[in-house]
Amino acid sequence: MPAQSETPPGPELLWEVGEEGVARMTLNRPRAGNSITPGQRQQIIARLAEASADPRVRAIVLTGEGDRHFCTGADLGAPAADAPPPPEDMPDNPAGSVTRAIAGGAQRMISAVLDCEKPVIAAVNGTAAGIGCHLAYACDLVLAADNAKFIEVFARRGLVVDGAGAYLLTRLVGPQRAKELVFFGDDLPAADAERLGLVNRVVPADELAKTAADWAARLAAGPTVALGLGKRLINRALDGDRAASLAEEAMAAEINMTSEDGQEGLRAFLERRAPRFRGW
């Protein structure tokens, strides 16, 4: 659901890493429905890449500022980030321009969530529309306030679904349900999203932040390397054949057992005590 470009006070993206290893990423454009600008999108991609390599970060919570909107899609009125002005004689829509914009923009952002080596929780605090839906669906776990809703708005605007929407929806709900959501673009209340498997849990709006913090704390206290490898295996499970999946699983186990957390898990089991995972 495109919104009018607007510059709110303060940074467009808030990022804070707590002592417990939980990073909180907040879309901070509430007066524009937390719609995403190109510059903000680049910040999201960069933050997630940095989090993968940062041992301080062991889980991430992604949410929107305010209590009305998680993310209402791309802000189509915002200027492109770091884009030079086109030549005066360039046509309005040169061949391949849309392909490049989608691949380097929305698709790259969704891939950044899927590829992040740390678990990401979406705390959907209101309306998620267009790419906002896909940003939530790409997360590893999705919590939604009971007043949240999801809207595949593309068809309403005469647009084909983009931002990895067909890829994500088909894997999450199957082709028939995916087509229903994409073709009609109807509002999907949080309770129905949970029933379809798009949301892990719906909670009262005033309990969303606490529930997300509790889940993130549990993940942050877990074996970070093993969780990251498990995320990779699950995300890729539907993309290859059985032999490839099993081979990757065996390789992931090999990598995990060279990690300190993997060794600690075995020691704790043999010593009959609770493991003390450190995140590497």
Q: For the chain, which residues make up each domain, given as ranges? A: 13-220, 224-271
pLDDT of residue 8: 41
Which class would CATH give 224-271? mainly alpha
Q: Treating both helix axes as pointing N-terminal to C-terminal, what angle do 38-53 and 106-115 enclose, rounded to 10 degrees?
A: 20
133-158 per-position pLDDT tens digit: 999 999 999 999 999 999 999 998 88
> What is the rounded distance in angstroms from the CA atom of residue 276 to the CA atom of residue 130?
41
pLDDT of res. 252: 86
The hierarchical CATH code for the domain 13-220 is 3.90.226.10
pLDDT class of 6 with cuts at 50, 70, 90:
very low
Please work out, in degrees rounded to the nearest 5, the angle formed at the alpha carbon of residue 242 by the alpha carbons of 236 and 247.
Answer: 75
The closest alpha carbon to 180, from 170, 190, 189, belongs to 170
For residue 249, what pLDDT is reported? 83
Residue type, 101: A
Query: What would the pLDDT profile of 164-175 be if each residue is shown by its tens digit?
Result: 999 999 999 999
For residue 83, pLDDT beyond 70: no
Q: Where are the beta strands (DSSP E) in 187-266?
A: 187-189, 201-203
* pTM score of the predicted model: 0.87
Confidence at residue 90, expressed as pLDDT on a 0 to 100 scale: 44
Pair 193, 199: CB distance under 8 Å: yes
3-state secondary structure of 69: strand
State how far the Cα of 243 lies from the Cα of 20, in Å rounded to an integer: 38
Reported as a single tens digit per residue, the pLDDT across 23-64 is: 999 999 999 999 999 999 999 999 999 999 999 999 999 999
Q: Where are the beta strands (DSSP E) in 48-148?
A: 59-64, 69-71, 120-124, 127-129, 141-145
The token duo for 126 is: 């209101």
CA–CA gap between residue 28 and residue 151 (Å, rounded)? 20
89 band by pLDDT with thresholds 50, 70 and 90: low
Classify the phi-psi angles of 110: left when phi > 0, otherwise alpha if psi is within -120 to 50, otherwise beta: alpha
